[in-house]
Structure 1
Amino acid sequence: MYKETLVGYLQCLVICSIVSYASSLTLANQVTSKPRHTKYSSSTAIPGSGSLVTPANQPVTPAPTDVSYYRVRDSKGITCILLKTDALIEVNFKSHIGEEQGDTYIPEKATVEGSCTDEDEATMRILWPGYSLQFDFAKTPGGERWYIENVVMIVSTDIPFYHNIRSHGNVIRLYHDKMLLPTPVGKSYGCEETIITLLPNIDDTPPEDLRGTVYLRKLQLQSFMYKGKSFGPIFDCNSAKRFRDETAPIAVGSTLAIAVLGTVTGYGIFRYLKIKKVQYNNME
């Protein structure tokens, strides 16, 4: 009896050790696991101002612990853009003391502005102390899909962490101007984590090695919503990836087929004209 109890105890100890070790591993495709240690000011942007507000000397509030909702409403109060995410912002740059990185979370009660009066274009702007993050949405020419056309982030150098780059102006601007998240109209884009890289415009004379990263974790996003205040069916990011992966071979195959068809057709016309010319000369 004693031996059986000892064996059972040892088996349990081995299993617990294996589980503990496995849970400590970080997989390559795992969601960013940076802990929520960032603090932000409890002050908010002035609604409707469209400008950045310098963080005030007020008690700090811990960042939200779960996803937050941000929505833009049209003139009738109907939700037309809806975003759900747990978002982390990082800004990297080089100063006189070396490589630096500032980070923050988009607070739960950030000010949201935007416009969705146009059927084919829409804008969402999220403001919180010292930051502004703007998403510009558009539709594909046929109107079958919506996508993010531009992303613009503005960061105030009045934030103490960015005082080392204040010589470059009162704010720094970062952009992403390539198509993002193409999604069928009427559906919402969903992904466990979407990463957007932002870069400066060289004309802005930015600080050296300036770049930004937006981590949209537990993301669900939909624009051009006019039928309800909740998300439509999810278009999973894995489906979007498969769509891109399948589109490339189809495009290459179609191009090759057209090239081969053009070559064969051209050769056929050449042969026809040559034979006709020979027959004509023989007749003479």
Structure 2
Amino acid sequence: MNKPYQRPAQDEPVWWFVISGGEILLTEEKQIPHGLLDEMPFPDLSEYKTVFIGELRERHCYLVVADFGDTNFSAVGEFLSVRELIIGTDTEMFAMAARSKQVADFLSTHRFCGRCGSRMQAVDWEIAMHCHSCQHRCYPRISPCIIVAIRKGRQILLARGKRHPEGLYSVLAGFVEAGEPLEQTLEREVMEEAGVRIKNARYVSSQSWPFPNSLMIGYIAEWDSGDVRIDPFELEEGGWYDIDNLPRIPAEGTIANKLIMRLKAEIDQESKS
């Protein structure tokens, strides 16, 4: 078992997840750098926090935490949003990139104890920060969030959030509150954002969403009752859209796209039956 702060072997080609200011280092081909440490045009990594974060395709993966605006990696590529890795079907690579960003955020925001204010120390055998003054220990935070595609006959409920790009519509989503089961979150968020009740909710899949530390838990459901009343504090506009005449939706690779395509496939299958 690799310890988090164990350095890679000299003869071991690895995946390098270099994070700076919340962005990730990508090559000119928009790929994660891969190779032997001695062959990578990196600065001296002894000056950087380097963390083992897992394995991908039988290769070890290392996070390198760089300073904001660091130019020492320019020979490799440039720092871009992790969103660049969403598009396509390489879900494993995006998941590891999401992990690297979340771990980097955790390390940078837990240098001091939230209980007593003392400086925290990294734990040798796991990714955690420990306060030796009051014995408080912290792990990377994960914020669960439901996301749900709702159908009404051949229509799907889509809305445009205040932070969405112009013309982009997506399904409803919302954070789980403390002490709240997922089923209650589904009903509450849909009612708060769209004013409708749902039924027959079914879990589909989940996706790590590192913006900054969410876990998206995806469902599909059916409309039960109520007229759509969009929450103006959360959303710009929204309503029912025919499954064969959709507006611009999230890109392939996102869980929102997967849920929409899942509903479309089910509706199309019903039409053929």
Task: Report the TM-score, using the length of structure 2 for normalisation.
Answer: 0.25
More strand by share: 1
Larger Rg: 1
More helix by share: 1
Task: Report the TM-score, using the length of structure 1 for normalisation.
Answer: 0.25
